[in-house]
Structure 1
Amino acid sequence: MTQTLHIIGGGMAGSEAAWQAAHLGIQVVIHEMRPTVETFAHQTGLLGEMVCSNSFRSDDDEQNAVGLLHWEMRAANGLIMATADKHRLPAGGALAVDRDSFAQSVTDALMAHPNISVEYGEITELPSDGMWIVATGPLTSGALGRAIAAQTGADALAFFDAIAPIVYHDSIDMSRAWMQSRYDKGETEEERTAYLNCPMDRAQYEDFIDALLAAEKTEFHEGETATYFDGCLPIEVMAERGRETLRFGPMKPVGLTNPHQPEVKAYAVVQLRRDNALGTLYNIVGFQTKMKYGAQTEVFKRIPGLENANFARLGGIHRNTFMNSPTLLDGQMRLRAAPHIRFAGQITGVEGYVESAAMGMLAGRLAAAEILGQALETPPNTTATGALITHISGGAEAKTFQPMNVNFGLFPPVEGLKSGRRGRKDRYKAYTDRAKLEWQDWLAS
């Protein structure tokens, strides 16, 4: 009888790992602690729930590394990408989804698969035998986190992550705001008007920054050091780095024209992106925050168009846990101290929904191959998936290891191409062309 694969965690990585292994004929059990044990960030007990943004970021598979990762996962029959495509929302060049219908669809697909079952309840210890994948993500329970630290002999690293608020669309003043994607990007009118924009003049921007810096923030526990992932910094932290930082970041005004005052160039612009298919909810793009709830409503209502905003969800901050994977995992994603256990997803030190799902995809395939007695090499580091696994299993410097999004800096250079900004477009196209060929070869193997 074929050995059963057990997966702890039903997020992006665990869901994708289960799907991949099940399609290779392996019996899979997903162990999910929600809704029995809740977390700060989750709202439901659904598998594949999105807890932060509703975006999988750029879908450009020729000029963007995460877009290439989308392409690789689609080519590998990935559940997460297929479901995202099914529940896609207009977001310019990004792949954004209706988060509720997305998670429900992921859950339905996994529940319907004959090789997959789900058991609810918390796993508090690392198992001593069997074949397991730990895909508990950044919100790994305290008990299991302590068990991982005890098994590895090393403390888990940690950083803090923040989520952005969500606003009810009908509470936004559209006489001040307008719909437009930056630079009118998109092939259809719906795509070209995918973002809702709130303009600020200089005085309004300065007032907003003053209020932001003065607002009451969430305090950390004694002994905790606030280390953030740079791709998800709270807006207050960005503002503390300089008053103009936000204006050159999530509030940059470029590529936008206010139809209410087309002759006036905004000093800064706050963008909101649709969060559900009905268009009733919008999240404030890049506005992750650690402000306390009362302060959030006071500060965000200073944004023109949001003076009377009602919030479906306020922002917040939570502690994320990840491993020092270069020292703990081998090239097959196995825990060196207990090779019957693989780790996948954000707990391994990749950052982002897509990257987490990609590591789940790979762990599921590697575990299935081992159960079937087959040899499966990890994909080459010239592919997006291969570049990520190479990075976390030894390519990164262990002493300074931090969560990492996929990016072309993880790829080996293509010989004969010009470096520098002018040659970047050709270089990125060469990276993606090479990756697609080698990814197809790896899938075929």
Structure 2
Amino acid sequence: MSHDVHIIGGGLAGSEAAWQLARRGYKVRLSEMRGGGDCTPAHQTDGLAELVCSNSFRSDDDERNAVGLLHHEMRRLDSLVMHAGEVARVPAGSAMAVDRDVFSAEVERTLLEHPNVTVVRERVDTLPEAGLTIVATGPLTAQSLADSIVKATGQDRLAFFDAIAPIVHHESIDMSKCWIQSRWNKRTEASNEGGDYINCPMTKEQYLAFHQGLIDGEKTEFREWEKDTPYFDGCMPIEVMAARGVETLRYGPMKGVGLDNPYDTTEEHPQGRWPYAVVQLRQDNKMGTLWNMVGFQTKLKYGAQIELFRTIPGLENAEFARLGGLHRNTFINSPMVLDRQLRLRGAEHIRFAGQITGCEGYVESSAVGILAGMMTAFELGGETWESPPRSTAMGALLAHITGDAEAETFQPMNVNFGLFDPLHDVKKKQRKEAYTSRGKADFGEWLAKREKVAA
């Protein structure tokens, strides 16, 4: 099949861009190197839109949360990722978490069944010299294509390390030492009975010993050229957090506030005292057989992980479906090399989308894929593109990666209210609701104009 647009990369952003173009009647060639004899250091399958790290799309609260607002906007644009996420959804309280395999399969099935999409398992080594192209190869871009991008941009790539959390088989967890509860008992209709997280409590003595084990444990050694590569703060290895101070983890992923430990009750606290520290596990698949250690991305070596994590109460006999890991992500300096429509300066037939642009997170990557697909569709249709306003989640994220951020200090960023047009005249306690309320209204007005143009 001849195509209107060539998309390189079948991850979240590439899949979303393909869907947005195909549903508007444009033919897409989607090139994905996995399944064609190549893979990456982090992927385990050749499925489209494979989730490499967490299985969570984070908060689904669109009333007080920037990422929840982004979910809302993506759904308004018929997001393939949001659709597949609902099909694959597993209980996670107010967060949106999915069964990875079901999610990937649903994305792939939807694209393969669409008559305007051709998926080709092939590695693309150089940027095309002509023809509308969207590069969505993600943070694990093959070296040959990465070299071609560096040459085309005239800029060296920036880089950061990203870490993966372990996954535990549920049947190996000793539930006589753990309990199921959501912090503050926040529940949704999709919640598990009792709550959405398995909680493994620690006493002060257990926590201090565990903290020391993180400090002392044998870790992955970096190559000489990797030593100056920074971590991304939103995915910090747990032992790196531990090194910042003995109390750091107790105010982060091991915070026990709002959790009632049924194994530590008193007359004053009949429901249980808050544990000194806690390890939380979140359901990772629909069957509930796999559970993810929340916030436990790590660069500890495998042997050290098994030895230390089996000191956690309830995980003494834990069997791991996957241990934690570390991989090097790369991204371009988007504020310097891309225009406001994600086009490569000097080669405007090429757009970039997803994490390679310097957005961080599954839904952020997907959202930029949606925008790249829509921009390309408008270009093909001869229509003028107008980006969403900065008062919306998509508009704020797009503005950050295409020019609002300082090029000299540009780093990957999750969507957050700090990227939005400020609301200084609203009281702080009411500001989150005000951001989301304004964002929904402004996005609705923007979308109505786009639909009118498309019609």
**TM-score band w.r.t. shorter chain:** over 0.9
Q: In structure 2, what is the Cα distance between the partners aligned to 1:433 and 1:130?
A: 35
Compared with structure 1, are the counterparts of its residues 438 and 219 closer, same or farther at alpha carbon in structure 2 (3 Å cutoff)? farther
Compared with structure 1, are the counterparts of its residues 439 and 208 closer, same or farther at alpha carbon in structure 2 (3 Å cutoff)? farther
SS at match of 1:49: coil
Q: Deviations over 1:70-93 (max 9, x none)?
A: 011111011000110111111000
1:370: Cα distance to partner? 1.1
Q: In structure 2, what is the Cα distance between the partners aligned to 1:125 and 1:116?
A: 22
User: Structure 2: where are the runs of 5+ without partners?
Assistant: 267-272
Q: In structure 1, what is the Cα distance between the partners aligned to 2:445 and 2:417?
A: 16
Structure 1 residue 63 and structure 2 residue 70: aligned?
no
Identical positions, percent: 59
Which aligned segments of 4 or more residues in structure 1 are displaced greater than 4 angstroms?
none
SS at match of 1:327: helix
- Equivalent pair of 1:92/1:192 in contact (CA under 8 Å): no
Instruction: Trace 1:50-89 onto structure 2 (pairs within 5 A).
Output: 50-89=51-90
1:439: Cα distance to partner? 4.2
Q: Which residue of structure 2 aligns with residue 376 of structure 1?
A: 385
Q: In structure 2, what is the Cα distance between the partners aligned to 1:436 and 1:62?
A: 14
Q: Which residue of structure 2 aligns with residue 125 of structure 1?
A: 126
1:40: Cα distance to partner? 1.4
Amino acid in structure 1 at the alignment position of 2:234: G
Compared with structure 1, are the counterparts of its residues 22 and 106 closer, same or farther at alpha carbon in structure 2 (3 Å cutoff)? same
Instruction: Trace 1:213-362 onto structure 2 (pairs within 5 A).
Output: 213-224=215-226, 225-263=228-266, 264-362=273-371
SS at match of 2:225: coil
More moved, 346-355 vs 178-187 = 178-187
Amino acid in structure 1 at the alignment position of 2:261: N
Q: Which residue of structure 2 aligns with residue 195 of structure 1?
A: 197
Instruction: Trace 1:176-191 onto structure 2 (pairs within 5 A).
Output: 176-188=177-189, 190=192
1:3: Cα distance to partner? 5.5
Structure 1 residue 29 and structure 2 residue 32: aligned?
no
User: Structure 1: where are the runs of 5+ without partners?
Assistant: none
- Equivalent pair of 2:70/2:394 in contact (CA under 8 Å): yes
Q: In structure 1, what is the Cα distance between the partners aligned to 2:43 and 2:292?
A: 16
Over the aligned positions, Cα root-mean-square deviation in angstroms equals 1.5
Amino acid in structure 2 at the alignment position of 1:346: Q
1:161: Cα distance to partner? 0.3
Q: Deviations over 1:22-80 (max 9, x none)?
A: 01110001000002211111111110110000000000111101111101111101100
1:2: Cα distance to partner? 8.7
Specify which of 377, 385, 395 is matched with residue 386 of structure 1: 395
Q: Deviations over 1:364-395 (max 9, x none)?
A: 11111112222222222121111111111100
Amino acid in structure 1 at the alignment position of 2:169: Y
1:162: Cα distance to partner? 0.2
1:415: Cα distance to partner? 6.4
Q: Which residue of structure 2 aligns with residue 106 of structure 1?
A: 107
Amino acid in structure 2 at the alignment position of 1:63: R
- Equivalent pair of 2:182/2:259 in contact (CA under 8 Å): yes
More moved, 221-230 vs 397-406 = 221-230
- Equivalent pair of 1:383/1:438 in contact (CA under 8 Å): no
Compared with structure 1, are the counterparts of its residues 363 and 372 closer, same or farther at alpha carbon in structure 2 (3 Å cutoff)? same
Q: In structure 2, what is the Cα distance between the partners aligned to 1:299 and 1:435?
A: 49
Amino acid in structure 2 at the alignment position of 1:267: Y
With structure 2 as the length reference, what TM-score do the two structures score? 0.95
Q: Deviations over 1:211-264 (max 9, x none)?
A: 110001111111321301100000011001111101100000011112233344
Compared with structure 1, are the counterparts of its residues 4 and 191 closer, same or farther at alpha carbon in structure 2 (3 Å cutoff)? farther
Structure 1 residue 437 and structure 2 residue 435: aligned?
no
Q: Which residue of structure 2 aligns with residue 11 of structure 1?
A: 11
Compared with structure 1, are the counterparts of its residues 75 and 131 closer, same or farther at alpha carbon in structure 2 (3 Å cutoff)? same
Q: In structure 1, what is the Cα distance between the partners aligned to 2:321 and 2:2?
A: 47
Q: Which residue of structure 2 aligns with residue 96 of structure 1?
A: 97
